[in-house]
A and B are shown apart, each in its own frame.
Chain A
Amino acid sequence: MRAVSFLLLLTPTAAMFEDQADNIDWHRQNLGRAAHALFHSENTQRLAIIATESSVLAALDLRSGSVAWRQVLPVGESVTSLQTNGKVLLSLSTTPAGAFVRLWSMRGAMLWDALLPPSAGAKEMLPPDALFAGPGVVVSWGDSVTAFDYNVGDVAWRWLASGEEVQMRRLLLVGEAEEQQLQAFGVLSSGKLLRATLSPKDGSLVTSKALGSHSASDFLPRSQMVVTLDQASVAWLKGTALLQHKVGSDVIATTQLETLLPSLGGLGAAQLLPLTLPGMLALAVPAHGDAPAATVLLSVTGGGVVVADTLQGEVQLAHALSREGKATLARIDGGTELRVMAFEPDGKASAWSEAESLPYSAAEHGALAAAWLNSYARKDGSLGHRLLLSSQDDALQLMQAAKDGGHVAWVREEGLASVQGSVTLVPLPSLVTDADAEGPPAFAFALPGVLQGLQRRWSEPPPSPRPTSRLRGTRTRMARGRCCSCTAARRSLGCTQAVASCFGRIGWRRCGTGHPPPR
């Protein structure tokens, strides 16, 4: 056995020297196309926390776009919701095995997770909903509402709908602090809306009632069930009918979109946008025939449904909620113009603000896929707006809007997160003279570079004699670790095209690599 060990030691190793780490290799962390995002600030840290279609949860530093932390969820999971209460992060994801509820610290550590099994006999499961209720997390999924202990993730209580098949869709917390009640809304197989009122402390059923008189064909409406910010009404679509339930009553009002929006076509494919606005709903109507796509804002404050505004063309909407409870709605026209509508705490909406231009390049990134708004107070008291934009090429970018043109803070190209096919390695020109050369670069082309290298070597500051003389020739082989000072110097250069020297544990080393810096 000793001989075997000895022979194994004779085999060449691929280890590198410590100072070669990140110098002869590069690594790029990808996230995928952003599907959900929220903003978080703590002390001096500003983060955008995103969940992607590739089942990755990550926090990005808003200043640089770099990954503060990343959690890669198992393949096949689909993150359906991301929420925060300012202290912890809650993610909901679905798999064929069930729905995962995970609570994360804002620094990316998973505090606990729990698996909710799918309802027995259910043909199709719709995304779960959750909210923070007192010291617990309440999740509705399938035919159950489950509360988890906030600290350890144990099941505190569970309520199961009995009788008719039901798909729970939304949760609401209504009432004052001491008398809060949990209202869970679901759709029964008969097409009626089930409203179950539960005690958030122990899950005991207070009341349960089936509302409405719809046919079974209403079961499992694919549309979002949207709740207004003031929690006054719950709305969803059934075909071209907008169904609206006024919370606290037993009434379900039906409004036909054809009568409300007679000038628009394609209402059968309209979708309610998942925006939480005070007394307002947003409806996206796709292009139909000659009629262009439109986004319609519907006011639902006065009992009925009134068209507040109709936005023609490709418009992206994003909303934000300040710490004071003031809501802001932003519209992005064609990816290049930003207008903002502010809501007072009483729900009164202002007019659209003046257009601020966005330096978004549709030619480079394609059409906008999604937008998330981050409003902040400027020193002069006015509101500033940042936008996190996800585009058709999977790129994610942070854009600062301004009347004088704004600027792009950073762009993360995420298209390479889903490489499926083959890879072709192309020899890039190491020198300008190679750019036009066919075939592999010849030594003659490299000669100027050699001369430049010699010249640079002479012009470099001489290495410190003490550590170099002591450590030269005694570099230890390593498989892990890095030259921190080299990496830091490279990062400080911003681009690795420049060649710098830095002093590390092994003396002076050149840090230039000539390849793009890993993100």
Chain B
Amino acid sequence: MEGHKVWAIVQDEAQLRILCLDAHNGQLVSESASTGELLHVSKLRLDDGASGLLLFDASLSVSLHPDTPAMRQAVHARLDSFFFYLLFKAEAAPSLRGYSLRLAADAGKHFELAPRWALALPSDVELSSTDFPATAMVGSPVRVLGDRSVMHKYVNRNLLALGLATPQNSSDEAYVQVMLVDTVSGVVVHSARHAGCSAPLTLALAEHWLVYHYWCGNQFQYQMTATELYANNTLLDDPISLLVGGPLDYTDRANMFDAFSPAAAQPHVASQTYAFGTGVAAMAATLTAGGLTPKAVILATTAGQLVTMSKNLLDTRRPLVHPSKMSQQQKEEGLVPYAPTLGGINPLTVLTHRHTIARPAHVFTAPTTLESTSLVVGIGLDLFLTRTAPAREFDRLNDDFNHVALVGAVAFLTVATLASNWYTKRRDLVAAWK
């Protein structure tokens, strides 16, 4: 999307059409056609605010849209930092493959994809994947603990959460495996395997954490696992540099996350698993404008309801102690004592209230201009949109807020201030004449 325009790529059997639509009224702004089988498309934002498309076809050649000198120059300038991944799900031998961009050897073309790494995947499992949107904001790079120390979040925007689950009626040994793959370096940052569990598997990835839901046939119940990743060093920034130069500017590219550094592949991982009472068809985490608002996980249940669940309940630091034995620091941190089950669904957390989404398949979230509020879209056969405020609407006045009383009070105080000022001056003047 660029401004109010939306790109739509239409792939016919032999023809590829690129449509540019006005998002507000659906009018066709521009259209172009070419031949070939599209493999992947990626949007590139240029320095002047415009944007273009990088189109990758089945022969791994790259074409630009629009193919202008400015576009070619912009791509050329960023050749070293362009990495792509493609997940081949439908093939006989599924795989996850990573590519970079390089100048084409063929004189007729400008760029082409260069294979960098590949991850072979088993063919007899159901594959699912999710990532953290590139435009989503992260409120804080650290988590403050009850003892005032901090844990540095492992925020890697190149992570892809990949889920492998054996089908429920499979005769093979049942298992669920979840991998976090750095799609730039191809390193598997984290992998967890749950034996005796099977599909359906749904995933949600946000900031430094992953939540997934699956069927555990051994225990005959649905389970949810929360995984959090922290940088494996509590003193990431060089202390001398910090003292001399002050805090690092994380918008500077040199200070950004480096996928190729050794530390990038070795996060500290913490996980907890809980039983959950119902099947889940899709999951997503709430997104807000600044990423400051505590997160919630939106679950689309197989029964067609959207349920919001506070991330506090899916916190890997939930202490394994009796509530009466929680330390003061744990209480200050707002931790909830661990319980093996997340309990039933509280009706107050059902966003869809009287509605039902038939055949729920996807949940999408998006930030609004208000930090407290996130939009939630549930998609299946039906569509449902609502807004949710995981930490209540702290930046919005209620509909029934008494604006008249507020304006009246301000006006009264202004008049009272002016009147008392006038009265004080007059009294002082009268006193001076006495």
Contact = CB atoms under 8 A, between A and B. Distances in A.
Interface string B354-375: 1101110110101001000001
A72 B387 contact: no
A477 interface: yes
B131 to A, nearest CB: 11
A26 B385 contact: yes
Interface string B1-32: 10110100000000000000001100000000
Interface in A390-426: 416-417, 419, 422-426
A16 interface: yes
B381 A479 contact: no
B379 interface: yes
A12 B400 contact: no
Given A8-B336, A426-B4, A25 B323 contact: no
Nearest to B404: A457
A54 B310 contact: no
A97 interface: no
B383 A14 contact: no
A56 interface: yes
Interface string A472-484: 1000011111100
A479 B347 CA distance: 6
B362 A423 contact: yes
A466 interface: no
B327 to A, nearest CB: 14
Contact of A4 (B337, B366, B384): B337
B312 interface: yes
B193 interface: no
A236 to B, nearest CB: 32
A13 interface: yes
Q: Give the most central of B353, B359, B400: most A CB within 10 Å.
A: B353
A452 interface: no
Contacts of B400: 472
A27 interface: yes
A8 B284 CA distance: 21
Interface string A1-45: 101100110011111100011001111111010000000000000
A4 B323 contact: yes
Contacts of B271: none
Contact of A21 (B354, B377, B390): B354
Contact of A480 (B336, B347, B366): B347
Contacts of A13: 346, 348-349
Interface in A440-479: 440-441, 454, 472, 477-479
B390 A428 contact: no
Contact of B377 (A24, A425, A439): A425
B382 A480 contact: no
A24 B387 CA distance: 7
B382 A482 contact: no
A416 B353 CA distance: 22
A56 B380 CA distance: 13
A435 interface: yes
Given A3-B323, A7-B337, A24-B387, A426 B6 contact: yes
B68 interface: no
A302 to B, nearest CB: 46
Which DSSP category, helix, strand, loop or mixed, fits chain A's interface? loop
A14 B362 contact: no
A325 interface: no
Interface size class of A (residues with CB under 8 A): 35 or more
Given A4-B339, A15-B349, A435-B24, A424 B6 contact: yes
B203 interface: no
Contacts of A1: 323
Contact of B364 (A24, A72, A425, A510): A425
B381 A56 contact: yes
Contact of B382 (A16, A30, A423): A30
A488 to B, nearest CB: 15
Given A479-B348, A480-B353, A12 B383 contact: no
Contacts of B362: 419, 423
A15 B381 CA distance: 24
A7 B315 CA distance: 14
A117 interface: no
A438 interface: yes
B350 A479 contact: yes
B112 to A, nearest CB: 26
Contacts of B377: 423, 425
A480 to B, nearest CB: 5
Q: Give the most central of B1, B310, B339, B343: most A CB within 10 Å.
A: B310
B241 interface: no
A16 B306 CA distance: 14
Contact of B384 (A11, A20, A27, A425): A27
Interface of A: 1, 3-4, 7-8, 11-16, 20-21, 24-30, 32, 54, 56, 70, 72, 75, 416-417, 419, 422-429, 435, 438-441, 454, 472, 477-482, 509-510
| Nearest 9 pairs of A and B residues by beta carbon | A25-B386, A3-B323, A425-B366, A15-B348, A426-B23, A479-B347, A13-B348, A27-B355, A14-B308
15 contacts: A12-B310, A13-B346, A13-B348, A16-B353, A24-B386, A26-B386, A30-B383, A56-B358, A56-B381, A416-B383, A425-B377, A429-B24, A441-B369, A480-B354, A481-B354
Given A4-B336, A11-B336, 7 more contacts: A4-B337, A14-B388, A14-B389, A15-B349, A20-B399, A56-B358, A479-B347
